[in-house]
Amino acid sequence: MSRSELDPAVRLVCQACNAEADPKDPFPFRCPAASNDDDVDHLLVRHVSAKPGALSPAAGIVDDDPNPFVRYRRFLASYQTAMSSGVGDAVFVDWIRDLDASIAAVDGRGFRVTPFGPSDDLSDREDVRVWIKNESNNVGGSHKARHLFAVMLHLKLAAHLGSDLADRSLAIASCGNAAIGAAVVARASDRLLSTFVPEDGHPATISRLRELGAKLEVCVRTTDMPQGDPCYLGLQKALEDGAIPFTVQARENGLVVEGGLLIGYEMAAQLAAGGESLDRLFIQVGGGTLATSVIAGLREALAFGLLPRMPVIHAVQTASASPLQRAFGKVASLVDKGADVERALEYAAHHRSRFMWPWETKPHSVAYGILDDETYDWLPIVRAMLETGGHPLVVSEQELMTAHEAGNEAMSDSGRVCATGTAGLAGLEQLRGTGGLGPDETVGVLFTGVDRE
Ligand SMILES: Cc1ncc(COP(=O)(O)O)c(C=O)c1O
Ligand SMILES: [Zn+2]
């Protein structure tokens, strides 16, 4: 079947220059026109066409399987390439199940739709209805492995189609949940992973990475680093030398959004099953891939019949590093001066460095998972906040600690969540404290990572 006959049909198109990734290219990770020095914010985003109601169960496109990658496989770009290359549906499902079983052998669990439901304790505390999507018991202890599973499916397909990607090592910049998620998926696939980590990486994370067989590349931060995170710079050097971007930054690998957007599909389906909808969603933002992905999933759920309306989006960052808030302020001021939102976003996409640049000082926070020097994937989040009437929230250490305690008290039956993982709740509490919530609202918060302390 040719790709244009598929329904749904997924294309990956650059948000800035509109170049399209060739699905048959074994390396469809970055915008094909991307250059490191044109100041254009090249980022592949999904353009999906499908019949109305395609995501609702009645359409028969979504299966009722506990594994989200099986359930929603027909919406993945790699599935589409597989089908148009003569790989059958049953073979693709086998790939998912085999990889998932190997992941379970490495990590003790495979991918399952994660819980999303109302928390009575938090609803009482906040005086609004609070729904929690809990990713902290997912593979690798966070949502991060989801992003990389989508990439691994593509690599499996590329190997099947005869590309030489199988010989290349995988590379990631992270010393936290993303590195662990990547290392679990790489180990389960017998692939070598290089992780570019800082010198002060958390000992529990470093030792888990060693157990998983990841190769550690320690990157030293000098006191004066206007050019950004040394781990990210180390990663870029490895990519230039031919490594595969197995890293949770969509600007390096657009396919990571596919794994993460299933969070948005799941949330829409879980709300629909409860006859509910969300007024607002709070998402903690580091490099920005999580929020970019969840927003993409919710938008598609809206387009294809599963979500009645988009929630107001609030990105949450720490007072110690808030490059997204800085960028949002600059785009919003263009709008305040009379530019329409689309024009302002287009201008920002073509003058990236005037909006997004590395944070100048080394940040510290209990929510250390969201201290990225830059919000690498930032523009889709700014777009979503402008279009839904949301805005970023910057929370203090005290607010983070209070939310960490309250979040864990409320979720005491399902294991401890880290302070990065509860940071969205700190954003909600701040907005409530400033009178920014309506009395009858239903709001969503993501709990994203296990507490390894
Ligand atoms: C637990 C947790 N939550 C949220 C995030 C933020 O995700 P992103 O960096 O994609 O914005 C991270 C990133 O490291 C994380 O570890
Ligand atoms: Zn581009």
The model's pLDDT over 390-420, given as tens digits with 9 standing for 90+, comes to 999 999 999 999 999 999 999 988 899 999 9
Q: Are 425 and 403 in contact (CB under 8 A)?
A: yes
- How many residues comprise the chain? 453
Of 170-179, 214-223, 272-281, least confident by mean pLDDT is 214-223
pLDDT at position 183, please? 98
Mutate to test the pocket of ligand 1, among 379, 420, 446 (most ligand atoms within 8 A of CB): 420
Tokens 């109302």 identify what position?
118
Task: Please identify, by atom number, the ligand 1 atom nearest to the C-alpha of residue 147.
Answer: 10
pTM summary value: 0.97
Answer whether 233's CB lies under 8 Å from 219's CB. Answer: yes
Tell me: pLDDT of 116 over 80: yes
Give me the pLDDT at residue 170, please: 97
Q: What is the mean predicted confidence (pLDDT) over 46-67? A: 93
Q: Which of 346, 310, 313 is nearest to 331 (CA)?
A: 346
pLDDT for the residue 7: 82
- Proximal ligand: closest to the CA of 316: 1
pLDDT of 287 above 90? yes
Find out whether the beta carbon of 286 lies less than 6 Å from any atom of ligand 1.
yes
Rounded to 5 degrees, what are φ and ψ at 181? Answer: -60, -45
Lowest mean pLDDT among 89-93, 104-108, 324-328, 361-365: 361-365
- Is residue 269 in contact with ligand 1, taking CB distance under 6 Å? no
Percent of the chain at pLDDT > 90 equals: 87
Cα 19 to ligand 2 centroid, rounded to whole Å: 5
For the record, the structure tokens of 441 come out as: 């609202």
Question: In this predicted model, what pLDDT tens digit does every residue of 169-184 receive, in sequence order?
Answer: 999 999 899 999 999 9
pLDDT tens-digit map of 125-137? 999 999 999 999 9
Residue 287 to residue 175: CA distance in whole angstroms = 13
Instruction: Tell me the pLDDT of the chain averaged across its residues.
Output: 95
pLDDT tens digit sequence for 137-171: 999 999 999 999 999 999 999 999 988 888 799 99
Q: Under the phi-then-psi rule, with left for phi > 0, alpha for psi from -120 to 50, and beta for the rest, what region is 185?
A: alpha
User: Above 80 in pLDDT, residue 124?
Assistant: yes
pLDDT for the residue 256: 97
Task: Determine whether domain 116-142+255-447 maps to CATH 2.40.30.170.
Answer: no
Q: Is 290 in the pocket of ligand 1 (CB under 6 A)?
A: yes
Per-residue CA distances from 452 to 143, 196, 274 (Å): 15, 20, 32
- pLDDT the model gives residue 107: 98
- Of the candidates 6, 86, 8, 2, which has an alpha carbon nearest to the alpha carbon of residue 261? 8
CB 118 within 8 A of CB 129: yes
Which ligand approaches the C-alpha of residue 352 most closely? 2
- Report d(CA 10, CA 48) in Å as an integer: 5
pLDDT at residue 25, rounded to an integer: 86
Q: Is the CB of 442 under 6 A from ligand 1?
A: no
Do residues 18 and 330 touch, judged by C-beta distance below 8 A? Answer: no
Read off the tokens for 346: 């287009």
Give pLDDT tens digits for 223-239: 666 678 899 999 999 99
Which backbone phi and psi does 219 adopt, to 5 degrees? -115, 125
Whether residue 370 has its Cβ less than 6 Å from ligand 1: yes
Ligand 1 contacts CB of residue 263 (under 6 A): no
Residue 266 carries which DSSP code? H
Spatial contact of 323 and 359, defined as CB atoms under 8 Å apart: yes
CA–CA dist 258, 262 (Å, integer): 7
d(CA 328, CA 330): 5
pLDDT at position 75 over 80: yes
Do residues 178 and 102 touch, judged by C-beta distance below 8 A? no
pLDDT band at 222 (very low <50, low <70, confident <90, very high): confident
Q: Please work out whether the CB of residue 15 comes within 6 Å of at least one atom of ligand 1.
A: no
289 touches ligand 1 (CB under 6 Å): yes
Which of 206, 220, 254, 243 is closest to 376 using CA atoms?
254
Query: What is the side-by-side strand order in the sheet with 244-245?
Result: 215-219, 193-198, 170-173, 244-245
Query: Cis omega (within 30 of 0) on the bond before 8?
Result: yes
**CA neighbours within 13 Å on the CB side: how many for 186?**
29
Q: Is the pLDDT confidence value at 3 over 80?
A: no
Cα–Cα distance for residue pair 260/338, rounded to 1 Å: 34
The percentage of the chain sitting over the pLDDT mark of 70, rounded to a whole number, equals 98
What residue owns the CA closest to ligand 1's atom 12? 369
Reply yes or no on whether the pLDDT at 259 is more than 80.
Answer: yes
